[in-house]
Amino acid sequence: MQRQENQLISTSNVTLKFGERILFKDVNLKFSPGNCYGLIGANGSGKSTFLKILSNEIDNHEGDVIITPGERMAVLKQDHFEFDEHTVMHTVIMGIRSSMISWLKKMQFI
Ligand SMILES: Nc1ncnc2c1ncn2[C@@H]1O[C@H](COP(=O)(O)OP(=O)(O)OP(=O)(O)O)[C@@H](O)[C@H]1O
Ligand SMILES: [Mg+2]
């Protein structure tokens, strides 16, 4: 995998079909450090499915998702009620925690 400077994640010609239905086709994106991105679209347009592809939860797509080596991804699932008891800050930290544990193990800190 080639290191891409100044980007965290990129996609190359990501395409997903459910049978005859094309949900999206040839999506080419770059997510750069220091930016905050939002994904908007009508209900059922494929936002959650695209995020599942980015986070490797599903892999039945064509094309590539490239995570720059050395970068870590943290994911919180779309669940309107699961985090009601927690502050936003605590919720974000919970998303980071699992990838942080993997990183600490990889670096042999734990
Ligand atoms: N495994 C699957 N097989 C067939 N169709 C699917 C599958 N998974 C998702 N879909 C369809 O793909 C479309 C996109 O769903 P998705 O949940 O990604 O939309 P969304 O933009 O996140 O919607 P919402 O705004 O309601 O959260 C929907 O029509 C859904 O029914
Ligand atoms: Mg959704």
Question: Residue 42 maps to which CATH number?
Answer: 3.40.50.300
**Is 80 found in the same domain as 65?**
no
Residues with CB under 5 A from ligand 2 (ion): 47-48
Q: Whose CA is nearest to atom 24 of ligand 1?
A: 43
User: Quick one: which ligand is closest to 78's CA?
Assistant: 2
**Is 93 found in the same domain as 63?**
no
57 is in which domain, residue-wise?
A: 1-69
Span from the CA of 47 to the centroid of ligand 1 (angstroms) = 8
| Full-model pTM | 0.77
Token pair 């939860």 is found at 57
Instruction: Please give the tally of structural domains in the chain.
Output: 2
**Is 81 found in the same domain as 58?**
no
Span from the CA of 5 to the centroid of ligand 1 (angstroms) = 33
> Residue 25: pLDDT band by 50, 70, 90 thresholds?
very high
CA distance 73 to 57: 12
Strands 9-18 and 21-31, how do they pair?
antiparallel
> Residue 5: pLDDT band by 50, 70, 90 thresholds?
low
In a mutational test of the pocket of ligand 1, which residue from 15, 18, 43 has the highest number of ligand atoms less than 8 Å from its CB?
A: 18
Q: How far is CA 21 from CA 14, 38, 52, in A?
A: 15, 25, 18
